[in-house]
Structures are given as C-alpha cells and as structure tokens.
C-alpha cells in the first residue's frame, strides 16, 4: 500500500481474502500468442445433417472413385451425407472423423491423404532410408527386402526419407511420406 494512497474496501477485502497476489505477475505469463503453434490436424471442418447414422462418432476414408471405407460399421445407414458435406470443400481421397452434435447434426473433420495400392503382409509398414542404409518394419518387426511402391514414393521426397503405410482395405494403403 502506497504512502499517500488510500485502499478501497473491495481492494482490502480481496487482499485479505487471498484473492489478490502479493506481487504482480511477470509479463511473460500474460495471456497472448506465444510459443509454437500446433500443426493443423484437419484441412476441413463442416457440418452435415444425418439422423439415420447410428452412434456418436464415425471414422471413414473416402477414395477417389467415391468408395467409402468405414473403419467401424455404423449399422445399415450410409455415410453419404457426411461425405457429401466434406466433398463440397475437399476432393477425395481424404480421411474423415464425424462426431454427433445433436440428434440430426454432425460435425465432420477431414484431411487429405495419399493412397497407394500394393500387395503386402501386415497392417502397418515403415520404410526408412538414410545415409546409414534402408530399414523396413512390418507391424513393428524388422523385415528383409523392400516394397518397390513405397521405395519409389520415398525417393521422390529426397535421398533420405521415411514412409509410413497403414492398410485401409485389402491392397489399399494410406501412405505418409516425410523427407529426412
């Protein structure tokens, strides 16, 4: 309390009640924009009316030919209303996640993906090439050889790369490529 300043009743009660900090906060602690922003997870977020879709959430992949690959069956209802809402702003192929907001309204988030078609065993494949050599892992286990389709996709990214493939259905794979 300053020498010539009189403290008001509400300030004194707040101080005595422990609602006011003894020392002012540092300026770096103020609300504002600081630090590194998170990477954007979704390319598009839309709403759609689909009362016939069961459940509260749904995950699906839309292929370029219009086929929808549903990760968990949601009954007999079609997911076309959700896909149509997304496709007004994003061309397939994409991965989407829908979340029920009300009895009839869904929020649908979607992001572009890359699809590759090849035969292989396992559900997840990682192919990495660095200056130290090439490493192939299928379902987290080391494997010998290579997968030519994945190798071509990786080489297009540069001399050192990592390719991650996850099976969608039969010989269709969702592929992520990162230069190293």
Instruction: Please give the structure tokens belonging to residue 80.
Output: 């076309």
pLDDT at site 146: 87
Statement: residue 114 has pLDDT above 70? yes
pLDDT at site 157: 93
**11 Rama class: left (phi>0) / alpha (psi -120 to 50) / beta:** alpha
Q: Which tens digits make up the pLDDT trace of 17-35?
A: 878 765 555 555 556 666 6
Q: Which tens digits make up the pLDDT trace of 34-85?
A: 667 777 889 999 999 999 998 899 999 999 999 999 987 666 678 999 999 9
Q: What is the mean pLDDT of the chain?
A: 88
Cα four-point dihedral sign 166, 169, 171, 176: negative
Statement: residue 92 has pLDDT above 80? yes
Strand, helix or coil at 37? coil
- Full-model pTM: 0.74
């Amino acid at each position: 309390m300053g020498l010539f300043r009189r403290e008001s009743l509400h300030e004194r009660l707040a101080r005595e009640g422990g609602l006011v900090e003894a020392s002012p906060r540092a300026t770096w602690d103020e609300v504002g924009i600081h630090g590194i922003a998170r990477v954007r997870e979704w390319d598009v977020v839309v709403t759609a009316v689909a009362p016939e879709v069961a459940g509260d959430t749904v995950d699906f992949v839309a292929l370029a030919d219009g086929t929808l690959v549903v990760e968990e069956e949601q009954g007999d209802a079609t997911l076309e209303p959700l896909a149509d809402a997304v496709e007004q702003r994003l061309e397939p192929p994409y991965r989407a996640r829908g979340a029920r907001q009300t009895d009839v309204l869904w929020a649908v988030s979607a992001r572009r993906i890359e699809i590759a078609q090849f035969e292989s065993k396992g559900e997840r494949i990682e192919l990495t090439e660095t200056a130290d050599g090439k490493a192939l892992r299928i379902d987290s286990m080391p494997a010998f050889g290579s997968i030519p389709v994945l190798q071509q996709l990786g080489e297009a990214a540069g001399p050192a790369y990592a390719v991650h493939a996850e099976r969608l259905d039969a010989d269709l794979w969702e592929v992520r490529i990162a230069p190293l």
